[in-house]
């Protein structure tokens, strides 16, 4: 795909449970609830990885890291990002920009945005101003509004590295 910039989309949902650790965008967040998942349940990094993989024409995250594989149990999702970036380098590609919307009642995203942007930028080898993170609530309606579910939706632009 020489000379071509491509866009990718990733969506990830996780059930929320009281007392679970909450890591979002690679940042440990103080929260009464956290994702109930096989890995660390970082829906933000999962959605971003799938967006990047999609733009690069690679297999999706669930294919690369199956959730029935014990090796992935409670695994930090930062590991998945490193593997995704290694696969991009093999194809001589780089990430140009990332944007993600996080829909959840808790935790509040706003106080954690700056740290999340910085960490995501490190993991995907970008400057922080090429990464954005927005939080939305579910307006007290549906599974997200009742605090049962979190959803992250991400877009990525990927282009040749040189």
Residues 94-123 binding Mg ion (CB under 5 A) are none
Nearest to 43 by CA among 56, 55, 61, 58: 61
Residues 28-87 binding Mg ion (CB under 5 A) are 46
The nearer residue to Mg ion, 121 or 152, going by C-beta atoms, is 152
Residue owning tokens 């965008």: 25
The nearer residue to Mg ion, 13 or 137, going by C-beta atoms, is 13
Is beta strand 131-136 parallel, antiparallel or unpaired with respect to 93-103? parallel
| Nearest distance from C-beta of residue 134 to Mg ion, angstroms | 19
d(CA 40, CA 20): 9
Near Mg ion by CB under 5 A, which window of 4-12, 21-29, 110-118, 123-131? Answer: 4-12
The nearer residue to Mg ion, 103 or 159, going by C-beta atoms, is 103
Residue 151 sits in the site that holds Mg ion (CB under 5 A) = no
Spell out the residues 6+ positions from residue 68 whose beta carbon is closer than 8 angstroms to its own.
38
Residue owning tokens 């993170």: 133
Binding site for Mg ion (CB under 5 A): 12, 46
């Amino acid at each position: 795909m020489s000379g071509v910039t491509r866009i990718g989309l990733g969506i990830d949902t996780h059930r929320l449970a009281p007392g679970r650790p909450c890591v979002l965008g690679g940042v440990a967040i103080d929260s009464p609830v956290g994702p109930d998942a096989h890995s660390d349940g970082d829906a933000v990094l999962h959605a971003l990885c799938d967006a990047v993989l999609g733009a690069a024409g690679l297999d999706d995250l669930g294919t690369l890291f199956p959730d029935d594989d014990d090796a992935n149990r409670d695994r930090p999702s930062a590991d998945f990002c490193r593997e995704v970036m290694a696969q991009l380098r093999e194809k001589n590609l780089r990430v140009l920009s990332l944007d993600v919307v996080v829909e959840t009642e808790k935790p509040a995203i706003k106080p954690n945005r700056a740290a999340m942007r910085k960490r995501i930028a490190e993991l995907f080898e970008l400057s922080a101003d090429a990464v954005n993170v927005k939080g939305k609530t579910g307006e007290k309606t549906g599974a997200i509004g009742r605090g049962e579910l979190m959803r992250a939706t991400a877009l990525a632009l990927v282009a040749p590295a040189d």
